[in-house]
Structure 1
């Protein structure tokens, strides 16, 4: 129903209007891209000071802002928290009515206000000075109250908003958001924040699962048989194991090769008659293996690199199981 309504709406729109709307939309992307590039080129020592100030913070990083700046602030706090910098958002209005107790002297506060004069945010300054907490201001006016009062000022000034009336916060909020992302990425580098660290904060996500799950936890049982096993026995074990692969072992129980579904097909195509064949005749030697303590992310990378759909999990030459591509 929604698709039908959408088609009707577009069909009712005249060509001139359609062209104009697309032109406006393209302009939003172009204007914001240009503004971001300009701000990126203007980054200087103050950005580095902000990074070092946050890096040296022994408490929490607290982000505060009103309205659209507050929405952006929540996202910045969430990004910092998930990338190794303990952080949370405090609403400036609520802070002035009791939540100031959430801010301590060993914390650092990021204050966001494009004008640099937002009353609720500016009112936080006396308390921050009183407890001697450090602050970083993100504004579009370096000469504003916040710009001149904070320990470090990050300039997110834009030439104009993408809004046709130059009123609705659009380009300026995007610039503030990207400045927050730039801080987070710089801090990740400063802290040598690795994928496994990210996984600890995102255990429910796909990457988190792959990095925190061991091969031994998801591997499937894989059948084993002697290198003298007949072709029929190999087929029986592969069918029964339901993994499309069987390990071939010597008398000492050490893996010397594997036979896959593909090996069976190739043997039939090449030999025709298979009654005389043994596992030793058709197996692939030197299979790629991985440790049972390897994580799924490593399994996935190795399978992709070697173009495998199955990966034998082994300790030394002893096969323990198999990880399939769909497990990772």
Structure 2
């Protein structure tokens, strides 16, 4: 019980949420501006966005708002007149497309669903293609186009091309890296050696304390899912060592700051250590998250959901709570 007292009570009570506004309260003014259809306020939010952070998280929040496409089609004169409106609308169409397709296996998706899915993505790609012609340094548009490349099955070469343009627009674009990492999985035409090599490069090239080393965790999570025993894979000494190094390079580094994307990073590390059966190593990540978590990768966990996440969190904090509190 002493360990429980050392960890903030917020980590033990309340319902875990995947809501981005709970993750990042800084996005509340943007949401309010969109819901109020206050386009000048939306443009000010992005104009004032920290230059050292990836705006893709903010774009994703807008894209997940149901019905926002109606507003965006006329905002700022419409996508033909405003690259920001086009960037947001393109991202929204991609979300709508994936909602139609669902997360089911391809064999469980109807022809009509696939047709609608591809239509949404093709429209988004055409729109965002115009955006990057006008604004080659629009990292959010390039990041969305990396995701589109996967959905439209445009191939690895095109996915790499789009990612490289995102990286040219903004060094170490972590959202684009996480998006490309999915494309590099065998299920999307890649290979695990290529995926791990990319993840290690993301970690090594980013500044200490940046979030990019979380790609290492997600790469191992993906391979673990393809192995006969995910837990046995994650318990391999070399895998655990790479996870330790990734944590030390990112969220465990003295230079780390909770910038946009930090919830995804901690959530992935918490999942990876949980899968490895290492509650003590998972505890600091669970303590940082409190009642925040992300659907990916926790949707992979058996019986996944808020209750499952909370059970794993409590188990880790009861084992490693003192360490989580003291760092």
TM range (shorter): under 0.3
Name the one with the larger helix percent: 2
TM-score, scaled relative to structure 1 = 0.22
Please tell me whether Structure 1 or Structure 2 has the larger radius of gyration of its CA atoms.
Answer: 1
Using CA pairs under 8 Å that are at least 6 residues apart, name the structure with larger relative contact order, 1 or 2. Answer: 2
